[in-house]
Structure 1
Amino acid sequence: MLHGLLWLPLLLIFILLTALGWLERRRQNLFRSWASDSELCKLDSSGAASLKNGELKWSAFEAGKFEEKDCFTIKKLELVELMALTSGEAPLTSESQGKCRLRLVGDGKEMDVPFSDAEQAREWMDQLMEKARCDL
């Protein structure tokens, strides 16, 4: 009896980890279909972003589907800034790592796209500016 009680927490942890793995796999499969035919896309803990046909769309995974949060036309992109995620209007230094956001400015509109990794955000900055220059 005592051995059974010792294994019960391990069984519960196994079931929990299996359920979390299934949810992550489902999220990734939904992302693949959502981002199909994209020129540039990302999925991280902050959300998903996709560049398709000159439109950058940012979404969050909510209630088993991707809910679109905002959209930005790359042709109208004037400025891309790397900003700290939580400290207001503070720009991120080149050595900084961790969570951040890209601020896209153009045509009188500002859009913030959150990122879990500052290095990935820097790569996106370069690629978005290249796309904006190509579309001009």
Structure 2
Amino acid sequence: MSHALLWLPLLAVFILLAWLGWVEYRKLEHYRQWAQQFEASKYDIAAVLGLQGDRLTWGRPTRQGIVNLQTCDLGHIQSVWVESSGQRLETEATPSKGTIHLVLQPPTGEGHRIPFTELPLALAWRDRLQPKLAGKIEGEFA
């Protein structure tokens, strides 16, 4: 009887881990289906992000699907940068504390803040989006 009581918590932990794995699997499956419509996309715990042409779409992954979807036209964005705790981050060597955000700033109004969990991934997306903004600016003066 005492051996069974010792194994019961282990069984409960196993069931909990299996359930958490199933939840994460459902999130990934919803993301895979959602991401097929984009030329570039990213998934992490904080948010999903997709780029198709000059349209950037992001939202939050859940086991029911992608929720809180927002879309932004890069033609209306003036600048893009990565920040953590209100401080701009330029390289991976920059220490980051708190949540990392990719910030899209339009000429007027409030900027869009897209959460990231990994600084290198956020910097890669910043570097991917900046040429699209530079192309827009060069096209305006040409």
TM bracket, shorter-chain basis: 0.7 to 0.9
Distance 2:103 2:69 in 1: 14
Encode CA deviations 1:62-91: one digit per residue, 9 max, x unaligned: 46221134221112332111111xx3x322
1:107 positional shift: 4.5
- Equivalent position amino acid for 1:82 in 2: V
Distance 2:37 2:65 in 1: 18
Which residue number corresponds to residue 20 of structure 1?
20
- Equivalent position amino acid for 1:37 in 2: Q
Distance 1:50 1:33 in 2: 12
Q: Name the SS of the counterpart of 1:32 in structure 2.
A: helix
Which residue number corresponds to residue 7 of structure 1?
7
- Is the CA contact 1:76–1:106 (under 8 Å) kept in the aligned structure 2? yes
Equivalent residue pairs, number: 133
- Equivalent position amino acid for 1:21 in 2: G
- Is the CA contact 2:60–2:67 (under 8 Å) kept in the aligned structure 1? yes
- Is the CA contact 1:58–1:113 (under 8 Å) kept in the aligned structure 2? yes
Distance 1:73 1:107 in 2: 13
TM-score by length of 2: 0.82
Out of 88, 91, 95, the residue aligned to residue 91 of structure 1 is 88
Larger mean Cα displacement after TM superposition, 72-81 or 62-71: 62-71
Larger mean Cα displacement after TM superposition, 118-127 or 101-110: 101-110
Instruction: Give the 5 Å matches for 1:112-131.
Output: 112-131=113-132
Distance 2:100 2:133 in 1: 22
Q: Name the SS of the counterpart of 1:91 in structure 2.
A: strand
Q: Name the SS of the counterpart of 1:41 in structure 2.
A: strand
> What is the aligned-residue RMSD (CA, Å)?
2.0
Distance 1:114 1:12 in 2: 33
1:41 positional shift: 1.0
TM-score by length of 1: 0.85
1:102 positional shift: 1.1
1:132 positional shift: 3.4
